[in-house]
Amino acid sequence: MLSKASIYVLLASLLTCARCGKFDECLHVSDGDERLRRLAHCDRFCKYLCKLVSLLSNLDHDDLLRLTELILGRVIPKDVVNLESLVKCRECLLRVLLLPNADEDDIVVLVLSSLGLREIAHLVTDPQIEDIYISEQVVFYTKCGGTINKVELSEHKRKNLARTFAKLAQLAGYELSISRPTATFTLKIGSARLRVTVDVWPVSSYITVHIRNLRVLFTLEDLIRLGTISQLDAQQVLNHVLSGGNVLIAGPPGSGKTTLLIALDLALPKNLRRVYIDEFDEFPDIDDLPQLKYRSIYGRVREIEHVLVRGGGLLIIGELRSREHFDALKLALESGLQVLATLHAGTLDELMSKLKSFLRDDIRLLEKRTLVIFMETRRAIRRVRELRLLCEQT
């Protein structure tokens, strides 16, 4: 954990940054001695340092960490304030002040706590925890192997957690409303990557939150080794995409659809142009790869249409879930792009019902060259249940 001396410097510098902005000039100075020299010439820094050393000398370690969280919660970027810039600003301040050997778990816990998520911060750093569920009624998490554990929190704290995630969704660029009651975004802090889904009425009678802990990116080889997909099925899927076909990955929530989609994206040639729609933070930025990412499609279908018709490549849709997503799917198919996408559908009947409901006669655009991968979870293992060509179902 953090040393008391490190926390003294951290608190003093954060106060200096928050009060006069002087520390901002030192933030990107890589040389440690030069950074300290500049800080020493800041009268306010020295003044606050002396006051803090006197004030905090009798506090124990846990109290110092708690105070760090509170002060860190006051630090915001000077220019554009969104979820990404807010997290990056606070993380950068901690890393600069605590030096390169700072514990990764400390960084994650402190930043999460500064966002108002202290009650679940320790769950995020546990490598055995895969999913966290939050509502006004209950908070629980699942571990590897499917074990379910309840978190004992007061109703007030449960409500605050749910409301905090709703606010973070707005900072991530999503307006939750009756017409758009679901928001999915990625929260990245250090080595932690969380896929967060927030639902409000009418999807849920109160705010509910699902957090998937994405600690690592799985390659197709990893998924073969884990038993998610067989070597034969993986080769069939790759051959289908490389020959110009589309892929739909269907299954119930939590069955590994997005994990497989990302692994498939990583396995494809780098020279293929990619256009990502929604939840793009889950897909890694790859050097020299032509990538265009849209955080949200709502109200931008026409804009995306202009991009799609300018060249070939892949349209990757994190989840087909609304009219706008299916409109983009149709535009891509009409423009000659291949499509890789996921959608919630546990059975063949659910899949066909959803496609016909949104695409109607335009389902013919998918019929001839679309492979459907059906996913399932069996004995806590997410795996491919079967592969089917869509033309066999219509």
How far apart (Å, rounded) are the C-alpha atoms in residues 65 and 3?
Answer: 10
DSSP assignment letter at 217? P
Using the predicted structure, report yes or no on whether residue 353 has a pLDDT greater than 80: yes
- Comparing 237 with 70, the larger pLDDT belongs to 237
Backbone dihedral angles phi then psi of residue 29, each to the nearest 5 degrees: -80, 115
**Max CA-CA distance within the chain?**
76
Give yes or no for a contact between 286 and 310, defined as CB atoms under 8 angstroms apart: no
**Domains of the chain listed by start with CATH number:** 4-115 (no CATH), 120-213 (3.30.450.90), 220-392 (3.40.50.300)
pLDDT, one tens digit per residue, over 145-189 is 667 899 999 999 999 999 999 999 999 888 899 888 988 888 989
DSSP labels, 1-49: ---HHHHHHHHHHHHHHHHH-GGGGTTT---HHHHHHHHHT-HHHHHHH
Give yes or no for a contact between 327 and 302, defined as CB atoms under 8 angstroms apart: no
pLDDT number for residue 47: 62
pLDDT, one tens digit per residue, over 34-91 is 655 665 566 665 665 566 556 556 666 676 667 677 777 776 776 667 898 889 888 8
Which pair of structure tokens corresponds to residue 136?
């006004």
